[in-house]
């Protein structure tokens, strides 16, 4: 029977999951394999889905609840992809504030859909900026201890921990991060990668190709702490049409939105876990990101195009009240638009605190 290799890559908000999956998808497709990607969020209008589709990948989306709480939809989304492309590989990106995915996603796939899937090693990305501060138990991480608990639990259930953004780290910084991981998780395999440059991907691909009994590290986890930690994040997904009388640079506009929000959040202060925006118009697209207060706003995928109108999606996950987040997003998108003599029409905005995770399944005895 044709079996699908299920590769899920976890990690905190802004760790580099989507960038990693896009690079892996490209690699597997170049090998002649059929690949489907499944994205996930608590609400609709995902930057990730739009970006991955714009890059030409086959993407299914589970929106409205995380994989663990909407397991059946994860499986039906995989089935939909299967009916179109007969995938050899499914790449899945869970929500960056989720953990306990071994017990609630991997083990249910293994135990309920054993004949259809092969489970690859579960790799979890450590985000250097927040990761270092959390693992050092530093105060002033921008997150409460409960939100920090989630980041720690995420790497605890990994078969393989990935230190991403190796392109930005000195040898010393990478060694320090590795030592911090090993202080928490002695003997856990750690790999340094850069999803941006592709460094370390040969080893990652070798790792992911292994057959074996992976995805078995079921967590001992306190769901009250986990739920409280998640609920401390303000979540916002907005879609906005921006129209001007004259042409403007799409890339400058996207970067301006993120820079204005970075500054506004620093004034509150409120720590951004991940703030991203995509602008789409007539097949062109650009993406801008902010992943922490200590990183610069960056144009991660330039469109290199001038437009008079653009559909913009903003996804923000910030340690603050969702109403405040919505106020700031509306204000600064409107101001960035006014700067280029454009009008911003907010079409749909969802802002909220994530609800308590209530997994569909929780299988604590590994198969």
Residues near Mg ion, by CB under 5 A: 17-18, 48
Q: Which stretch binds ligand GDP (CB under 6 A): 12-20, 104-112, 304-312, 343-351?
A: 12-20
Which of the ranges 78-86, 189-197, 251-259, 323-331 carries the binding residues for ligand GDP, by CB under 6 A? Answer: 189-197
Contact map string, positions 250 to 289, toward ligand GDP, x by CB under 6 A: ------------------------x--------------x
Neighbours of 11 (CB within 10 A): 25
Q: Which two tokens stand for residue 291?
A: 């992943």
Burial of 34 (0-12, 13-18, 19+ CB in 10 A): middle
Using an 8 Å Cβ cutoff, are 51 and 289 in contact? no
Q: Which of 6, 18, 237, 275 binds ligand GDP (CB under 6 A)?
A: 18
Instruction: Mark the segment that binds ligand GDP (CB under 6 A) among 54-62, 97-105, 162-170, 232-240.
Output: 162-170
Q: Which is nearer to Mg ion, 37 or 261 (CB)?
A: 37
Closest CA to 17 of 141, 149, 164, 132: 164
Number of residues that bind ligand GDP (CB under 6 A): 21
- Residue closer to Mg ion by CB (options 18, 42) is 18
Question: 200: which residues sit within 8 A by CB, 6+ positions away?
Answer: 162, 166, 191, 192, 193, 194
Residue range at the interface with ligand GDP (CB under 6 A); choices 181-189, 194-202, 227-235, 343-351: 194-202
Q: What is the CA radius of gyration of the chain?
A: 20
Among 66, 195, 318, 342, interactor with ligand GDP by CB under 6 A: 195
Rounded distance between C-alpha atoms, residue 38 and residue 49, angstroms: 8
Closer residue to Mg ion (CB): 17 or 192:
17
Q: At what angle do helices 171-184 and 145-156 cross, to 10 degrees?
A: 90
* Residue closer to ligand GDP (CB basis): 218 or 265: 265
Binding of residue 236 to ligand GDP (CB under 6 A): no
Is 194 one of the binding residues for ligand GDP (CB under 6 A)? yes
Residue 123 or 291 with smaller CB distance to ligand GDP: 291
Residues with Cβ within 8 Å of residue 138, at least 6 apart in sequence: none
- Beta carbon nearer to Mg ion, 300 or 351: 300
Torsional class of 271: left (φ above 0), alpha (ψ -120 to 50), beta (otherwise): beta
In whole angstroms, what is the distance from residue 269 CA to residue 325 CA?
Answer: 12
Q: What is the DSSP string of 129-180?
A: HHHHHHHTT-S-SSS-HHHHHHHHHHHHT-SEEEE--GGG--HHHHHHHHHH
Q: Is position 245 an interface residue for ligand GDP (rule: CB under 6 A)? A: no
Q: Would you give the binding string for ligand GDP spanning residues 66-105, x where CB under 6 A is met?
A: ------------------------------x---------
**Which is nearest to 93 in space by CA: 32, 51, 149?**
51
Q: Residues 153, 165, 260, 332: which binds ligand GDP (CB under 6 A)?
A: 165
Residues in contact with ligand GDP by the rule CB under 6 A: 11, 13-19, 96, 164-165, 167-168, 194-196, 274, 289, 291, 298, 300
């Amino acid at each position: 029977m044709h079996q699908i290799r299920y590769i899920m890559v976890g990690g905190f908000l802004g760790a580099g999951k989507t960038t990693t999956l896009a690079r892996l998808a490209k690699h597997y497709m170049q090998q002649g394999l059929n690949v489907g990607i499944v994205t996930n969020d608590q609400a609709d209008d995902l930057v990730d889905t739009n970006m991955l589709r714009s890059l030409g990948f086959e993407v299914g989306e589970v929106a409205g609840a995380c994989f663990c709480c909407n397991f059946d939809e994860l499986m039906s989304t995989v089935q939909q992809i299967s009916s179109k492309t007969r995938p050899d590989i499914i790449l899945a990106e869970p929500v960056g504030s989720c953990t306990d995915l071994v017990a609630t996603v991997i083990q249910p796939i293994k135990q309920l859909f054993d004949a259809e899937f092969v489970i690859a090693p579960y790799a979890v990305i450590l985000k250097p900026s927040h990761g270092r501060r959390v693992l050092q138990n530093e105060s002033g991480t921008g997150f409460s201890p409960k939100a920090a608990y989630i980041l720690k639990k995420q790497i605890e259930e990994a078969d393989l921990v990935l230190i991403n953004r190796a392109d930005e780290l000195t040898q010393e910084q990478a060694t320090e991060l590795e030592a911090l991981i090993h202080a928490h998780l002695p003997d856990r395999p750690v790999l340094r990668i850069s999803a941006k440059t592709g460094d370390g991907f040969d080893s990652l691909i070798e790792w992911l190709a292994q057959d074996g009994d992976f995805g078995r590290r079921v967590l001992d986890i306190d769901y009250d702490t986990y739920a409280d930690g998640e609920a401390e994040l303000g979540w916002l997904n907005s879609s906005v049409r921006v129209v001007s009388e004259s042409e403007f640079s799409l890339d400058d506009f996207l970067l301006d939105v993120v820079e204005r929000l970075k500054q506004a959040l620093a004034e509150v202060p409120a720590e951004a876990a991940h703030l991203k925006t995509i602008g789409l118009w007539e097949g062109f697209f650009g993406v801008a990101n902010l992943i922490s207060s200590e990183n610069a706003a960056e144009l991660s995928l330039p469109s290199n195009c001038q437009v008079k109108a653009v559909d913009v999606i903003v996804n923000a996950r910030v340690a603050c009240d969702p109403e405040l987040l919505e106020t700031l997003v509306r204000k600064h998108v409107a101001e960035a638009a006014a700067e280029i003599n454009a009008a911003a029409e907010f079409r749909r905005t969802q802002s909220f605190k994530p609800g308590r995770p209530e997994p569909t399944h929780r299988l604590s005895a590994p198969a």
